[in-house]
Amino acid sequence: MQKPHTFDRFLIQRLGISFISLVAALTMIPIIVVFGYIIFRGAPAISWQFLAAMPRDGMRAGGILPAIVGTFYLTLGTAVFSVPIGIAAAIYLSEYARENWITRLIRIAIINLAGIPSVVYGLFGLGLFVLFLKFGTSILSASLTLSIMTLPVIISAAEEALRAVPQSFRTVSISLGGTRWQTIRKIVLPQALPGIITGVILGLERAAGETAPILFTGAAFFLPHLPNSPLDATMALPYHLFVISTQVPGMPIQIQYGTALVLIVFVLGMNIAATVIRSRARAKRQW
Amino acid sequence: MRLNRFILVLLLALLAACGSSTTHSSSGSQTTAYIQNKGSDTIVNLALAWAEKYQSEHPDVSISVTGGGSGTGIAALLNKTVDIANASRQMQAEEIKQAKANGFDPVEFVIARDAIAVIVNPSNPVSQLTMQQISDIYSGKIDNWSQVGGENRPIVRLSREVNSGTHVYFRDTVIRLGDPKNKTLFATDTLLLPSSEGIISEIRQNPNAIGYDGLGYVPADLKKVAVARNAGGPYVLPSIATVNDKSYPIARDLYMYTAGQPTGAIKAYLDWIVSPEAQTIVANLGFVPIK
Amino acid sequence: MKKSLTWTETLITAVIKTCGYSAIVFVILIFFFLLREGVPTLAEVKLGELFSTRWYPIEAHYGILPLITGSVIVTVGAMLIAIPFGIGTAVFLSEIAPRWLREILKPLVELLGGLPSVVLGFLGILVLTPYLRILLNLPTGLTALAGALLLGGIAVPTTVSIAEDALDSVPQGYREGALALGATKWQTIWRVTLPAAKSGVLTALMLGIGRTIGETMAVMMVTGNAPVMAVKLSSIVSPVRTMTATIAAEMGEVANGSTYYHVLFFIGLVLFLISLVVNIIASSVVFKSKKRAERVLS
């Protein structure tokens, strides 16, 4: 009487597990194919020339230096604004805030900032920084826009890292006479630093790859020289890829794939750096 | 600590980048005149070619070029955020009124001429269409290639975006057949692609597609349709000759606008643009020189 | 010395508190700005016109319904892909895969999450859309389906990541208890573990939806941007136009302060409100941490 029942269940299990494994494989395969394809078609374009020279001939030849430098400046600009504010906000939430309605409101606000579409950020940046504050289409406007977008990522990651530090660390420090800020600065923050850095890098990775927020706030189709000041507009890798794949006739396909490759290496390099920092920190953790 | 060293390396890399940027711009660090040029996507590659040539001859001038559509350029001119607006259509009455309200009179320069080619996939057997037929295709009255002498295939209509001067020009001249009272619109399922190149790449691989683009954007491997003004009339292919003798019905001027009369570096640049040297570049890129 | 210590301490504490409130300030600022620039639309465009079916803004046809349906159909399509693949992969990683495989695959999925959408759009126009046209014998490959496939690809890593964390948080005791009662591993997954992680999985889905609705570049490059009313089943294989692509494509053109300008901000406001609603739902369903669950068990 029991045997057919058992037979059924295990057969279902084997089928089910095979099915789920298939689903997972179907998810993984496109990922590998996408990366592999871009690497395969983009690698031939990569040379020192490509990375370090200015574009020529209507951007159909030469290099993509201004786009690379531009993305670098934008990422830096984003970090300058979002990192201090983000970490400070995380410290507030983790160390100072009480669980009242205002704190809950802050958390809701953070979740909402994280969910706002990137093009709405672009709209907001256009309205506030470019037009209202008259910063114009500039690295400054674009960085400010990107940093508000990056803020929730940094705050969430930093807060989680701070909370992970055991309460006993703080208790001991205070019992030895330290003030709250001294405790944070000398004990909690250093311990949480790897987690915070991971969050910062992941946040900046997203900022580096975004196109919509910089479309109206800082990106330029072509500039004859590298940007000299934060009030200059700039070329940037994601916008450059968009432009050369849709706006320029006769663009060699090699350059398009090469640019795509450079962009994903830049962005994913940050991703890998963050992962490495995270796992090494986990190994070295003192608790 | 390891982290400090890492940050140090990053800062050094940043300084290196700044250093390389100064060497790149040092050639222009004396009295650099900076010209901002924005607008039509039809003109953008021409503007870029001009900027490159001019800058190689005048290293003290720096020109940045951006696209976005004629509407974008004009809007930027009205907002006073660019020096020269590129437009593939003329400024409209409200835009001129807005300019006056913002304190200036826009000055118009014709910098080249352009034919709008109607293009189809090379495998499409249709080679000629009348203006009326093109208008009916785009307004949705004609849905299948067989209705104009082609195969039994659905027609996929490609167009530029609404902020494109090319779009507006095509609508007024072809779909509305030049009649200002005509209010026909594009069919709702017309694909509004954000760039000229998008139209080209779709037509290249889709035998159902029809599109329109400036002649300068149409590569040799796509098929241009010969257009006739009327059903009986001669079917004419777009070229420099047929634009200049006005036998090709879909041709237009290309413009650059400035806020008030230009002076200094901007004037010098515009003077150069209408010179024979710059107009050779026009012909090389597939547009029609103004002489 | 003690006095100066307290001084700096107070100053720093004040700065930290200000930064703490900054998130609220920014959300309110963004909302206020969208409101300020978007609400004049209601005065300048009749409500009936705004919700009509024709989007041709340069001649004052401001019907935003086609754009809304475009966004909806692409999002629905993307979720139909992201839900099975996302949850399936999460289940696989959390419950079925051996440890070593999980350590390899999980970072791989996160890698996909970091891929900029413009790169996916780029591959979309070069590889996906021609392929779709030929495979499904469509008039053109620039369709809502292409958009849904790409957005599904973008939503999957977010879904997998959060769902997998949720499944991981389910205490081992639940599974062991089920197995001890004679359930197979499979039955444990579907009748015990997954229901226990229900709120986390729902959060993952809601965040995936939020991400999908807000996506701009990939859809702008592959959906054809035709403002049709995407309400029939066949609309999934026809070109559509999303709200996000409309803003991105047209914002550059508008003169500051014109009706067209206000309408685009109004669309931005609509997007903001949609993401607000989705996020409120997501956060009200937020999953409790491992600690609280264990408190219940013990």
Place of tokens 């004040």: C14
CB contact under 8 A, C255 and B192: no
d(CA C78, CA C152): 4
**Alpha helical stretches, state H, chain B:** 2-26, 41-57, 70-78, 93-101, 131-139, 165-170, 196-205, 240-244, 264-273, 276-284
Place of tokens 């009348």: B130
Tokens for B182, please give them: 């005509």
User: pLDDT class for C298, splitting at 50, 70, 90?
Assistant: very low
Which of A 207-266 lie inside 8 A of B, CB atoms? Answer: 220-228, 233, 243, 245-251
- pLDDT (tens digit per residue) in B25-59: 444 445 578 888 888 878 888 898 899 899 888 88
Q: Is the pLDDT of residue C244 over 90?
A: yes
Structural domain of residue A188, as residue ranges?
Answer: 62-284
C13 part of contact set with chain A, CB < 8 Å: yes
Query: With a cut of 0.95, is the ipTM above it?
Result: no
Region of residue A136 (phi > 0: left; psi between -120 and 50: alpha; otherwise: beta): left
Mean local confidence (pLDDT), A11-31: 86
User: pLDDT class for B10, splitting at 50, 70, 90?
Assistant: low
Q: Given this model, what pLDDT does residue C296 score?
A: 40
- Percent of chain B residues topping a pLDDT of 70: 89
Q: Given this model, what pLDDT does residue B4 score?
A: 58
User: pLDDT class for C56, splitting at 50, 70, 90?
Assistant: confident
For residue B206, give the nearest of C140, C227, C239 by CB distance: C140
For residue B69, give the nearest of C61, C224, C253 by CB distance: C253
Tokens for A160, please give them: 């989680």
The residues facing B210 across adjacent strands are B120, B157
Lowest mean pLDDT among B189-198, B234-243, B262-271, C128-137: B189-198
Q: Is the pLDDT of residue A27 over 50?
A: yes
Considering its fold, how many domains does chain A have in total?
Answer: 1
d(CA A238, CA C186): 44
Q: Do residues C152 and C75 touch, judged by C-beta distance below 8 A?
A: no
Q: Do residues C180 and C169 touch, judged by C-beta distance below 8 A?
A: no
Q: Is the pLDDT of residue B107 over 60?
A: yes
Mean local confidence (pLDDT), C237-261: 84
Q: Do residues A188 and A165 touch, judged by C-beta distance below 8 A?
A: yes
Mean local confidence (pLDDT), A148-167: 88
Place of tokens 């990522």: A153
d(CA A259, CA C116): 13
Residue type (1 letter), B3: L
Q: Using DSSP bridges, classify how beta strands B191-193 and B251-259 pair: parallel, antiparallel or unpaired.
A: unpaired
d(CA B85, CA A136): 17
- pLDDT (tens digit per residue) in C218-240: 998 899 888 888 888 888 888 99
Q: Is the pLDDT of residue C166 over 80?
A: yes
Q: Given this model, what pLDDT does residue B137 score?
A: 92
Q: Which phi and psi (to 5°) does residue C142 adopt?
A: -80, 90
Q: Given this model, what pLDDT does residue C269 score?
A: 93
Q: Do residues B129 and B168 touch, judged by C-beta distance below 8 A?
A: no
Q: Which residues of B84-108 are buried (b: 16+ CB within 10 A; e: fewer)?
A: bbbbbbbbeeebbebbeeeeeebee
* Residue among A252, A253, A236 at smallest CA distance from A60: A252
- Percent of chain B residues topping a pLDDT of 90: 21
Q: Given this model, what pLDDT does residue A4 score?
A: 55
- Our measurement of the distance from residue C221's CA atom to the centroid of its chain's CA atoms, rounded to an integer in Å, reads 18
Write down the CATH number for the domain with range C40-297: 1.10.3720.10
User: What is the signed CA dihedral for C201, C205, C211, C215, rounded to 10 degrees?
Assistant: 150
pTM confidence score: 0.84
Packing angle of the helix pair C2-38, C259-284 (nearest 10 deg): 120
Q: Given this model, what pLDDT does residue C290 score?
A: 38
- pLDDT (tens digit per residue) in A186-227: 888 888 888 888 889 888 988 998 998 998 888 878 787 788
Q: Do residues A174 and A183 touch, judged by C-beta distance below 8 A?
A: yes
Residues of chain C contacting residue A41, judged by C-beta atoms under 8 Å apart:
none
Q: Given this model, what pLDDT does residue C268 score?
A: 93
User: CA B228, B229, B231 angle in degrees (round to 5)?
Assistant: 70
CB contact under 8 A, C247 and A119: yes
Residues of chain B contacting residue A228, judged by C-beta atoms under 8 Å apart:
21, 25
d(CA C25, CA C103): 40
d(CA B154, CA B141): 12
- The total of other beta-carbon atoms located within 10 Å of residue A6's CB is 11
Q: Given this model, what pLDDT does residue C187 score?
A: 83
Mean local confidence (pLDDT), B268-288: 89
Q: Is the pLDDT of residue A82 over 90?
A: yes
- Please report, for residues A115, A216, A240, C58, the alpha-carbon distance to residue A127 in angstroms, rounded to integers and kept in the order given: 20, 10, 23, 21
CB contact under 8 A, A76 and B14: yes
Distance from CA of C248 to the nearest CA of A (A): 7
Q: Do residues C194 and C201 touch, judged by C-beta distance below 8 A?
A: yes
* DSSP per-residue letters across A154-175: HHHHHHHHHHHS-HHHHHHHHH
| Long-range contacts (CB closer than 8 Å, 24 or more residues apart) made by A251-255 | A251/A59, A251/A60, A251/B197, A252/A60, A252/A61, A253/A41, A253/C126, A254/A41, A254/A44, A254/A45, A255/A45, A255/A50, A255/A59, A255/A60, A255/A61, A255/A64
Q: Is the pLDDT of residue C285 over 80?
A: no
The residues, any chain, with a CB within 8 Å of residue B227's CB and separated by 6 or more, are B118, B128, B129, B130, B131, B134, B235, B236, B238, B248, B249, B250
Residues of chain B contacting residue A245, judged by C-beta atoms under 8 Å apart:
197
Task: Write down which chains contact chain B via at least 3 CB pairs under 8 A.
Answer: A, C
Would you say residue A45 lies in a domain?
A: no
User: pLDDT class for A76, splitting at 50, 70, 90?
Assistant: very high
- pLDDT (tens digit per residue) in A234-263: 889 999 998 888 877 778 888 899 999 999
- pLDDT (tens digit per residue) in C4-13: 567 888 888 8
Packing angle of the helix pair C259-284, A101-115 (nearest 10 deg): 120
Q: Given this model, what pLDDT does residue A134 score?
A: 82
d(CA C67, CA C271): 11
Q: Given this model, what pLDDT does residue B21 score?
A: 45
User: pLDDT class for B98, splitting at 50, 70, 90?
Assistant: confident
Q: Do residues C229 and C53 touch, judged by C-beta distance below 8 A?
A: yes
Mean local confidence (pLDDT), C247-266: 82
- pLDDT (tens digit per residue) in A125-156: 988 888 888 887 889 999 999 999 999 889 98
Residue type (1 letter), C189: I
Q: Using DSSP bridges, classify how beta strands C61-62 and C55-56 pair: parallel, antiparallel or unpaired.
A: antiparallel
DSSP for residue B92: P
Q: Given this model, what pLDDT does residue C30 score?
A: 92
User: pLDDT class for B94, splitting at 50, 70, 90?
Assistant: confident
CB contact under 8 A, A136 and B81: yes
DSSP for residue C286: P
Q: Where are chain C's structural domains?
A: 40-297
For residue A96, give the nearest of C16, C85, C214 by CB distance: C16
Region of residue A41 (phi > 0: left; psi between -120 and 50: alpha; otherwise: beta): alpha
Q: Given this model, what pLDDT does residue A81 score?
A: 93
Distance from CA of A151 to the nearest CA of B (A): 21
A162 part of contact set with chain B, CB < 8 Å: no
d(CA C279, CA C209): 10
User: pLDDT class for B13, splitting at 50, 70, 90?
Assistant: low
Distance from CA of A172 to the nearest CA of B (A): 25
* DSSP per-residue letters across A214-231: HHTTTB-SB-SS---STT
C127 part of contact set with chain A, CB < 8 Å: yes
For residue B64, give the nearest of A72, A220, A245 by CB distance: A220
Q: Is the pLDDT of residue B3 over 70?
A: no
Q: Given this model, what pLDDT does residue C49 score?
A: 83
Q: Do residues B289 and B112 touch, judged by C-beta distance below 8 A?
A: yes
- pLDDT (tens digit per residue) in B194-243: 777 778 888 888 899 999 988 878 888 889 999 888 888 788 888 888 88
Q: Is the pLDDT of residue B17 over 80?
A: no
Helix or strand (DSSP H, E) at C154: helix C144-169
Q: Given this model, what pLDDT does residue C1 score?
A: 46
For residue A106, give the nearest of C23, C185, C187 by CB distance: C23
Tokens for B21, please give them: 């940027």
The residues, any chain, with a CB within 8 Å of residue C65's CB and separated by 6 or more, are C51, C52, C53, C229
- pLDDT (tens digit per residue) in B19-30: 444 444 444 445
Tokens for C51, please give them: 């919700």
What CATH number is associated with residue A127? 1.10.3720.10
Q: Given this model, what pLDDT does residue C172 score?
A: 86
Q: Which phi and psi (to 5°) does residue B59 adopt?
A: -65, -10
Instruction: Tell me what the pLDDT averaged over chain C comes to.
Output: 84
CB contact under 8 A, A225 and B49: no
The residues facing B255 across adjacent strands are B87, B110
Tokens for B23, please give them: 């060497």
Q: Given this model, what pLDDT does residue A120 score?
A: 92
Residues of chain A contacting residue B44, judged by C-beta atoms under 8 Å apart:
221, 247
C29 part of contact set with chain A, CB < 8 Å: yes
